[in-house]
Structure 1
Amino acid sequence: MQEILAHRDGIAFLALGTDENRFSEAWLTAVEAALEEVVSSDSSVLVTSGAGKFFSNGLDLEWVQQHLDQFNDYAARVQVLLARFLTLPVPTVALVNGHAFGAGAMLALAHDFRIMRVDRGYFCFPEVDIKIPFTPGMTALIQAKLTPQAAVASMVTGQRISGADAVHWGIVDRAVSETELAAAGQELAASLLGKDQDTLGTIKSRLFESAAASLRTF
């Protein structure tokens, strides 16, 4: 993969990719390395975004079907990455530029803040309709970030949730137009600069201790 991390004005910008941004092995390796760079750099906030139609469509289901014998190791790696985002010792902002489905939606939830496009893209947990139950770790992540009502509305129904409805349910913090998305993310990130990593890392690790532990146990 090409370089996916850039630094500007104390903010690290993580570009998930320009396609469906599924969690391929190469994609996982690149994102894992990017997070290591973030915590060792001078940047003190992380902004994550996709491009075009997709934020992320989640698991690489085509690869999974071809490597069923490796599924447990693959799923464990995905969950560890989600736990890493959840407890990253810098503030994190997800710019949900397009569709966020399944584990891609969980990736957005693992960030501290979410800004979504109001005019295109859906937030969706399709697991109930594709007959893939949520793992205990994934359930714990969703429960840690959403109200019980929002969890039921998204997990039990499998409905596609627009930006405006995602704000209503508290799934995202704001919904803006495509032209406003980058500026809104940078403005929020700038307001979060300068947090001490040791302090914030401890706060987030304790705040999400149960969910992170569940994600790391597969």
Structure 2
Amino acid sequence: MPYLSLTDDAAEVFLGTQGLELDETNPENRFALDWLDAVNVVLDEAVAAKKPIVLTATGKFFSNGLDTDHIAASFAELPGYLDRVHQLYARVLTLPAPTIAAINGHAFGAGAMLALCADHRIMRTERGFWSLPEAALNMPFTRGMAALVRTRIPDATATEAMLTSRRYNADDALRAGIVDQTADEPELIEAARAVARERTGLVNDNQTVIKRGLRLPLLEDLRTPTPPTLL
């Protein structure tokens, strides 16, 4: 389950389980319902710490996105499940602190979009891809997800990523404007902490006010209920 690590520089939210590189119950940090609940609890703790927030994980995956087992078992509930995912995106987009995603491994689908919600993104070199596989999997994007991708990365990149399911390594992602910088694995978290140190004085509720104004149309799209007809 996701957990919080507090340092002098940041509140570090890890998407996996403490002490395990891969948790057998959720090795890819997929968006299971209990995982979504746990992330929100940890975000509460991170906000209470009044520090910049780093979003990261350990092991091979940052997040591999939607819980496909849950979707297969509860397909009729998919619109509500996707709305839960949208709520997480909206929350991360409007946290009252600077947010930094330290993308430690594969970020696919909904996990790739979660990384886009951070104010600043750093991707690990040598291992891991950022990708939106929906086109290859014959899956649509929700209104909120399409708006998130469209507004958080350059239009040419959004078009390529959404229509071709290209896998971007760290260098590709930097050139495409998906991430702001790259770092080798040993320096990844320290690079995120360095950004956090630069932005320590910006932790306050005004961050949320500014972010809401900056991202108002996107937030409205994320709050629009997913229609069953999309599926």
Normalised-by-shorter TM-score class: over 0.9
Which position in structure 2 is the counterpart of 1:29? 37
Residue 20 of structure 1: how far off its partner (Å): 0.4
Which position in structure 1 is the counterpart of 2:71? 64
The unaligned stretches of length 5 or more in structure 2 are: 17-21, 226-231
Q: Which runs of 4+ in 1 moved over 4 A?
A: none
Which position in structure 2 is the counterpart of 1:15? 14
1:160 corresponds to which of 150, 162, 167: 167
The unaligned stretches of length 5 or more in structure 1 are: none
Which position in structure 2 is the counterpart of 1:101? 108
Residue 196 of structure 1: how far off its partner (Å): 4.3
Is 2:177 aligned against 1:178? no
Residue 186 of structure 1: how far off its partner (Å): 1.0
Are the aligned partners of 1:95 and 1:182 in contact in 2 as well (CA < 8 Å)?
yes
1:185-211 residue CA offsets vs partner (Å, 9 max, x unmatched): 111111111214221111100111111
Are the aligned partners of 2:64 and 2:108 in contact in 1 as well (CA < 8 Å)?
yes
Task: Check 1:186–1:10 CA distance in 2 against 1; reply closer, same or farther (3 A cut).
Answer: closer
Are the aligned partners of 2:9 and 2:193 in contact in 1 as well (CA < 8 Å)?
no
TM-score, reference length from structure 2: 0.90
Residue 99 of structure 1: how far off its partner (Å): 0.4
Moved more, 112-121 or 192-201: 192-201
Are the aligned partners of 1:117 and 1:163 in contact in 2 as well (CA < 8 Å)?
yes
The aligned runs of 1:17-166 (5 Å cut-off) are 17=16, 18=22, 19-39=27-47, 41-166=48-173
What is the CA–CA distance in structure 2 between the aligned matches of 1:28 and 1:196, rounded to whole Å?
Answer: 24
Q: Which residue identity is paired with 2:126? A: D
1:15-41 residue CA offsets vs partner (Å, 9 max, x unmatched): 1004200000111000011222222x2
Identical amino acids, percent of aligned pairs: 43
Residue 162 of structure 1: how far off its partner (Å): 0.6
Paired residues in the alignment total 216
| CA RMSD after TM alignment | 1.2
Which position in structure 1 is the counterpart of 2:229? none
TM-score, reference length from structure 1: 0.95
1:151-181 residue CA offsets vs partner (Å, 9 max, x unmatched): 1121111010010000001100111111111
